[in-house]
Amino acid sequence: MLARIEGGQWEVRDRSSPDDRALLCIADGRGLIQLRHQGQACRSFIVEDTPRRVTVHYACAGEGYGQTTVRFETSRVVRLDAQGIAGGLPFAFSADARRIGECERPKPRPRHSIAKRHRAR
């Protein structure tokens, strides 16, 4: 089911606090699983996988663990329920996530080109 979720820029809003939101750039639905353990190398296994819902449990050595359920609404709208331990403290949240567009690319840095210096002479 996670492969059906489109990659791109996603807005995740906590259902208990709609003003609490995060923007994420994900390649596919797997990027929505470890929201409290982003970028960490964690072992995971699928607890449930149906056409409309997937539940994944994951453990991050020394960093905690979590379990996330993703409920598929469309390829651009999902519901998330997650709980676990992060940074030694428990967490639990429910959120709505929607794709809002393509990932923004970082703005290019000004280049200091040798070619520019030669033209100035």
What are the backbone angles phi and psi of residue 101, rounded to the nearest 5°? Answer: 150, -165
- Of 39, 13, 7, the closest CA to residue 26 belongs to 7
Q: For 102-118, write each residue's pLDDT tens digit.
A: 998 765 555 544 444 44
Q: For 45-84, write each residue's pLDDT tens digit.
A: 999 999 999 999 999 999 999 999 999 999 999 999 999 9
Q: Whole-model pTM? A: 0.82
- Of 4, 59, 52, the closest CA to residue 30 belongs to 4
